[in-house]
């Protein structure tokens, strides 16, 4: 059975994160042993395996959500075994799983914190990466690294996002506003690299850091520490979620509009993205007498929703790694890029017209 599952994982070259499926099989092997026959597993075994992953002393002590995801992934693989007539029924079908979102790792990155992180970025490409995540809500790295200069429609104030995660649902692209914070950083990078002059007009916006998600995350965590902020879980998702929460709080945009811009449903937003912020509590007490209002200089915010300052961590030297995504200090990083001649003025970059947004 386990050999079938591992072979099936190898055959699914379309999966974005096959390691998640391999991990599920590893946990199943740890419980059943290596030589469990394909036809021997029954629903009761699956239920006991799920409890073992969560509660047993010798188990991996996973959260109910993670254990449920493992059951769900194995169910998908065993469905193929049924289709291939290797087994009569799928023992994973009907097993109740708990896929409630774990909100304990949610973080809201405030405007002040975002400014500090932006200022700590080592070069203009990293400023663009951060701007696309925090102010346009792009998924990183999948959507950020697929952005091309030809996707940006400067005159119309919008750009096309290529979204591989939602492609299978018929939503492989979406159109996102060119928010002021994003435009500022893209404009600065445009002035440096000169699309259509120094590089192809349809080249990728991010060139220097086209590497793995793990390397991007490691580098980003160092930037966060340099900004004097404590490293937080799920860093890129937190940026995307913070922007969704921020725009939701503004009350300027309809829910269906935000869903379209972010490429997810309102239900997904409420479950995984939206969070209660310190501003929500301050707004609730805005009409209260001054004596009832909290001090505005309190350190930190609501536990579990906002990132606290890391204090002196920003002053600590971080060891350098031989890593394609490891940024140099700002001056060195932009040394080569700044050899390009900057235009006298660049209020609206003149990208060659394409049909990138015609669809």
Query: How confident is residue 345, by pLDDT bands cut at 50, 70 and 90?
Result: very low
pTM (two decimals) = 0.68
* pLDDT value, residue 279: 86
Query: In this predicted model, which residue has the larger pLDDT, 208 or 105?
Result: 208
pLDDT at 243 over 60: yes
> Comparing 28-37, 185-194, 248-257, which segment has the lowest mean pLDDT?
28-37
Find the helix packing angle between 111-120 and 213-226, rounded to 10°. Answer: 100
Domain 111-339 falls in which CATH fold?
hpI Integrase; Chain A (1.10.443)
Is residue 285 predicted with pLDDT exceeding 80?
yes
Give the tens place of pLDDT for each residue, 74-83: 999 999 999 9
Q: What integer pLDDT is reported at residue 194 of this predicted model?
A: 86
Tell me the average pLDDT across 313-335. Answer: 43
pLDDT attached to residue 14: 85
pLDDT, position 269: 84
CATH architecture under which domain 2-100 falls: Orthogonal Bundle (1.10)
For the chain, which residues make up each domain, given as ranges? 2-100, 111-339
- Identify the pLDDT of residue 330: 41
pLDDT at 341 over 90: no
Rounded-to-integer distance, Cα 236 and Cα 137, Å: 9
Residue 113 has pLDDT above 50, yes or no: yes
For residue range 175-227, list pLDDT tens digits in order.
999 999 999 999 999 999 988 777 888 999 999 998 777 699 999 999 999 99
Q: Could you give the percent of the chain with pLDDT greater than 90?
A: 58
Mean pLDDT is lowest, of 150-159, 267-276, 320-329, for 320-329
Identical fold, 2-100 and 111-339: no
Q: Which of 78, 53, 57, 111 is nearest to 2 (CA)?
A: 78
The two beta strands, 152-153 and 173-177, are: unpaired
Q: pLDDT confidence of 293, banded at 50, 70, 90? A: low
């Amino acid at each position: 059975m386990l050999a079938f599952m591992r072979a099936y994982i190898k055959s699914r070259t379309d999966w974005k994160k096959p390691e998640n499926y391999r991990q599920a099989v590893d946990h199943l092997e740890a419980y059943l042993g290596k030589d469990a026959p394909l036809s021997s597993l029954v629903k009761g075994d699956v239920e006991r395996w799920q409890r073992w992953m969560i509660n047993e002393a010798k188990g991996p002590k996973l959260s109910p959500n993670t254990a449920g995801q493992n059951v769900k992934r194995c169910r998908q693989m065993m469905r193929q075994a049924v289709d291939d007539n290797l087994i009569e029924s799928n023992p994973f079908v009907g097993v109740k799983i708990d896929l409630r979102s774990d909100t304990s790792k949610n973080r809201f990155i405030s405007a002040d914190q975002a400014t500090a992180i932006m200022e700590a970025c080592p070069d203009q490409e990293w400023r663009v990466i951060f701007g696309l995540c925090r102010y346009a809500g792009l998924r990183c790295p999948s959507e950020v690294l697929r952005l091309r200069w030809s996707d940006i429609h400067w005159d119309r104030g919008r750009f096309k996002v290529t979204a591989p995660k939602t492609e299978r649902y018929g939503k492989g692209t979406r159109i996102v506003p060119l928010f002021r914070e994003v435009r500022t950083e893209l404009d600065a990078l445009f002035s440096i690299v000169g699309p259509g002059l120094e590089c192809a007009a349809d080249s990728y916006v991010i060139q220097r850091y086209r590497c793995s998600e793990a390397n991007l995350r490691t580098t980003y965590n160092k930037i966060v520490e340099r900004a004097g902020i404590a490293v937080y879980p799920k860093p890129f998702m937190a940026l995307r979620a913070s922007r969704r929460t921020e725009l939701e709080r503004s009350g300027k945009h309809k829910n269906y509009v935000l869903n379209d811009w972010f490429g997810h449903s309102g239900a997904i937003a409420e479950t995984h993205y939206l969070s209660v912020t310190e501003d929500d509590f301050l707004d609730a007490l805005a009409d209260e007498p001054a004596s009832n209002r909290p001090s505005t200089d309190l350190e930190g915010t609501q536990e579990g929703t906002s990132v606290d300052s890391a204090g002196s961590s920003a002053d600590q030297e971080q060891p350098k790694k031989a890593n394609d995504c490891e940024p140099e200090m700002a001056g060195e990083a932009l040394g080569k890029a700044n050899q390009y001649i900057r235009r006298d003025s660049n209020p609206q970059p003149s990208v060659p017209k394409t049909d990138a947004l015609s669809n």
